[in-house]
Amino acid sequence: MQEVEVSSENVDPPDWVPDPARITVTVCRALQRERWAVSLLLCDDGRIRELNRTYRGIDEPTDVLTFAADEPRGANDTDAVLEGDVAVSLPTVERNATVFEVPVAQEFLRVYVHALLHLAGYTHDGYDLSSANVADHPMLGLQERLVKKLDKEFLS
């Protein structure tokens, strides 16, 4: 099972969005995951705010939400499957790119890789995401190494 299903709601996907399937393949190879099924929703702030309020009790938009599958299809103890749903607010990604002074496509890579790492079981609980020392954190350091690799592969 190797599948990325992309849909959009209330937005037309811009041409700066890198291919989510290729990103997923690269990240899963780095994580040594041979099986994955990811559903990616590209949406606006209103839709992601609704999802954030419904599932996290936070009534505001965010850049990305990740919903890991409770019981991956066909998985067993020796067959790690990366599976779940991801929602990305494209307007928030655009604003973040401006704030962080990075290309918008790179910021999309960052939030999508972040989501994939969550689906793989990585967390950053209790860590200030605005810290300048993200490279010191296991998940966030890996995220930035993957973004750097993907940035070279997709955006250079």
Q: Can you give the pTM of this predicted structure?
A: 0.89
Phi and psi torsions of 64, nearest 5°: -150, 145
Q: Average pLDDT, stretch 42-68?
A: 97
Q: Which two tokens stand for residue 70?
A: 């409770």
Is 90 exceeded by the pLDDT of residue 153?
no
Query: Which pLDDT band, with edges at 50, 70 and 90, does 61 fall under?
Result: very high
Q: Average pLDDT, stretch 14-18?
A: 93
Which residue type does 12 have? D
pLDDT of residue 35: 87
Between the alpha carbon of residue 128 and those of residues 63, 82, 137, 143, the distances in Å are 16, 25, 10, 15
Q: How many residues does the chain have?
A: 156
Taken in order 109, 115, 118, 120, the sign of the CA dihedral is negative
pLDDT of residue 155: 74
pLDDT per residue as tens digits for the range 107-145: 999 999 999 999 999 987 766 666 556 667 788 889 999
Domains of the chain: 2-155 (3.40.390.30)
Between the alpha carbon of residue 14 and those of residues 17, 35, 105, 126, the distances in Å are 6, 28, 10, 34
